[in-house]
């Protein structure tokens, strides 16, 4: 069918690129339909050529990589690439993916096989409580202030959205306004990912065991008062980065049951309070009188529960009374 499509006048643009990414797109479509009929994914959505985003995947027969220069099939010269990092010595890429984001930026990803050495073992263990005022609170008492990247650029985003709404949909000015808005969003996303990458790398390097809560972020986004702040904190991305970095470098990531009452339990004596409203920023134990910042108290409870999981190999059930 692909060969027949290339002969059609309305699909002549398919001949402008190599056949390799076209064949890969059909393989991806097959994978998407297989996932849909198995009940694992949603129905595949149609991608239009005029959309700002897109990607093309090249296998071995669709590119050459020699002397640090990458040349794609049907290209006369190597791509002018600004490398973000050096490839491992003797790297032999098996797949090259070229991607364009909504901001009009082009990225090239090279898939290479590399053995990542594990880090030396350490005796440190840490519990982490995620929040909004403090992005992360450690069991050591350290707090990472929430940068609130989206709030800092909220006025600019609003202005770009208003500019877009005034343009005629489908016009050249409309597409230019789309790109300006996408660049503003990309600026927020890049800053957020930069902070999360630095935090997760530091945590993995300094600690052997890292304990976090299993937060139901999708359910929390139903709170319309805090939804924007929760989305800006990007707790799901934080956990995803921690998971693969801990796996890479031989660290242990322990995830505590989401119903574990870490904020209502005293980290000193274990007493469980019946209520702990969100406005109360200090935890005071009614039994032993222990008083501490609620987030630090929760982080200490998460650490204790995580060490119990690591030692016993079983989940942590919430206290019923």
Write out the catalytic residue numbers. Answer: 129, 213, 295
Burial class (CB in 10 A: 0-12, 13-18, 19+), 113: exposed
Burial class (CB in 10 A: 0-12, 13-18, 19+), 106: exposed
Q: Say if CB 157 and CB 184 are below 8 A apart.
A: yes
DSSP lists the bridge partners of residue 65 as: 70
Q: For residues 77 and 74, give the distance between their C-alpha atoms in angstroms, rounded to a whole number.
A: 9
Burial letters 53-65, b for 16+ CB under 10 A, else e: eebbbbeeebbeb
Q: Say if CB 222 and CB 180 are below 8 A apart.
A: no
Beta-strand ranges (E) seen in 214-272 are 252-256
């Amino acid at each position: 069918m692909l060969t027949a499509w290339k002969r059609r006048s309305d699909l002549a643009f398919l001949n402008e690129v190599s056949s390799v990414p076209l064949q890969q797109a059909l393989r991806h479509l097959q994978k998407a339909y297989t996932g849909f009929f198995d009940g694992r994914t949603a129905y595949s959505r149609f991608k239009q050529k005029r959309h700002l985003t897109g990607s093309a995947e090249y296998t071995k027969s669709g590119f050459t990589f020699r002397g640090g220069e990458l040349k794609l099939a049907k290209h006369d010269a190597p791509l002018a690439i600004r490398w973000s990092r050096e490839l491992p010595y003797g790297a032999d890429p098996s797949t090259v993916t070229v991607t364009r984001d909504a901001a009009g930026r082009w990225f090239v990803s090279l898939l290479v096989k590399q053995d990542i050495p594990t880090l030396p073992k350490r005796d440190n263990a840490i519990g982490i409580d995620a929040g909004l005022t403090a992005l992360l609170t450690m069991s050591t008492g350290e707090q990472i202030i929430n940068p609130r990247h989206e709030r800092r650029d909220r006025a600019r985003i609003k202005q770009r959205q208003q500019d877009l709404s005034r343009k005629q949909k489908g016009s050249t000015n409309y597409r230019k306004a789309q790109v300006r808005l996408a660049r503003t969003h990309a600026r927020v996303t890049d800053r957020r990912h930069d902070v999360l990458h630095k935090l997760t790398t530091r945590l993995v390097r300094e600690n052997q065991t890292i304990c976090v809560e299993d937060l139901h972020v999708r359910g929390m986004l139903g709170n319309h008062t805090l939804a924007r702040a929760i989305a800006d904190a990007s707790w799901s991305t934080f956990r995803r980065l921690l998971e693969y970095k801990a796996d890479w470098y031989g660290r242990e990531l322990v995830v505590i049951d989401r119903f574990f009452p870490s904020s209502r339990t005293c980290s000193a004596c274990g007493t469980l309070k019946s209520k702990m409203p969100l406005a109360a920023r200090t935890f005071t134990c009614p039994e032993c009188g222990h008083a501490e910042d609620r987030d630090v108290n929760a982080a200490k409870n998460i650490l204790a529960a995580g060490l119990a999981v690591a030692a016993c190999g079983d989940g942590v059930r919430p206290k019923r009374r």
